[in-house]
Amino acid sequence: MRGLVIINGYPSAEKFLLQGMRIQKALQAEGIETDIFKNGEAYALVNEAGQIETSLVNNYDFAVYLDKDKYLGNMLEKSGLRLFNSARAVEVCDDKLSTYLALGACGLRLAKTVPAPLCYTKGAKPNVAFLEKVAEILGFPLVVKKSYGSFGAGVQLVHGMPKLQEVAEIFLHEPHFFQQYISASQGKDVRVIVIGGKAIGGMERVAKAGEFRSNIELGGEGKKIVLEQAYNDAAERAAKTLGLDYCGVDLLETEEGPVLCEVNSNAFFDGFERVTGLDVAAAYAHYIADQVKIR
Ligand SMILES: Nc1ncnc2c1ncn2[C@@H]1O[C@H](COP(=O)(O)OP(=O)(O)O)[C@@H](O)[C@H]1O
Ligand SMILES: [Mg+2]
């Protein structure tokens, strides 16, 4: 039994390397050796017959896929490798809008969301009549989000029409959407880590003063909480519906219970571990070991 740990190969991925090394060590404690590879370090190609050729598959039984490179993930799976998480689940979670669409009518509460029409035209301007309709549907303030974004970087709170037009113009050539602002959850949310369909714990994140985004990377502070049943259940339901082995689910807090904010297939766990005292790497490795040993 030998596994792969795959991370993104570009410099910003230092955090992925640390996460990969933690998982490698935890798997070793389960008696499973792994090698860490960066995407781009090993070849994978589609040959003339449409078959996948890759140097990665033959020597390995599974891969812990910490990258978001949907092409490599797909190729590895097509060559028969079991991925944690699956390429499809990673791809769906990478795009927040696709996540909401995939969750569909699974019973989770979502914030009302209007996708921005995709724009492929250079020099185009946002459609003002459309933005006025968005404002009418969602009211101000409203949230504008890039479909692909992390660490709060592509998330903005907009208080009026001039700003809405300005942000819509900046985001125009990237997939993005407009979302109801869940004011009850102002500056806070709950992060839950789910492994193998079970919520292992949660923390509440509170934004720094003057900030509505509670991301730790933006100065938010985490505090360990005992998960209320509704939050536990919502996180588990999201993970199961999306077919994720591992994820971090962000839930907005309201009097009526949780509203799903996003699902992170590749959630970093260092901050979560510090706050909760849980060993996420060990829990994930234990789950992986169980899964690969029964195959
Ligand atoms: N609709 C919303 N209403 C209220 N707060 C929100 C809403 N969407 C996002 N936030 C806040 O912004 C933060 C970042 O948004 P999120 O969708 O998780 O993006 P990212 O992937 O960048 O973390 C959330 O953790 C939450 O604190
Ligand atoms: Mg988030």
pLDDT digits (tens, 9 = 90+) for 237-272: 999 999 999 999 999 999 999 999 999 999 999 999
Report pLDDT for 120: 96
Higher model confidence: residue 27 or residue 217?
Answer: 27
Cα 40 to Cα 27, 43, 145, distances in angstroms:
24, 7, 30
Report pLDDT for 294: 52
CATH architecture, domain 92-109+184-277: 2-Layer Sandwich (3.30)
Probe residue for ligand 1, chosen from 96, 179, 186, 261 as the CB with the greatest number of ligand atoms within 8 Å: 261
Section 171-200 average pLDDT? 98
pLDDT at 169 > cutoff 90:
yes
Three-class DSSP category at 31: coil
pLDDT at 12 > cutoff 70:
no
Report pLDDT for 141: 98
Each domain of the chain, given as residue ranges in start order, spans 2-84, 92-109+184-277, 113-181
CATH topology of domain 113-181: Dna Ligase; domain 1 (3.30.1490)
- Residue pair 158/167 in contact (Cβ under 8 Å)? The answer is yes
pLDDT > 90: what percent of the chain? 89
Cα–ligand 1 centroid distance for 155 (angstroms): 7
Q: Which residues contact 147 (CB under 8 A, 6 or more apart)?
A: 95, 96, 97, 98, 174, 175, 176, 177
- How do residues 23-59 score in pLDDT, each as one tens digit? 999 999 999 999 999 888 878 899 999 999 988 778 8
- How do residues 152-164 score in pLDDT, each as one tens digit? 999 999 999 999 9
Q: Which of 55-59, 62-66, 112-116, 143-147 has the lowest mean pLDDT?
A: 55-59
Same fold, 2-84 and 113-181: no
d(CA 127, CA 24): 49
Query: Could you tell me which CATH class the domain 2-84 is placed in?
Result: alpha beta
- How do residues 73-124 score in pLDDT, each as one tens digit? 999 999 999 999 999 999 999 999 999 999 988 999 999 999 999 999 999 9
Q: What residue's CA is closest to ligand 1, atom 4?
A: 182
Pocket residues: Cβ below 6 A from ligand 1: 111, 143, 145, 149-155, 179-182, 185, 189, 212-215, 250, 252, 261-262
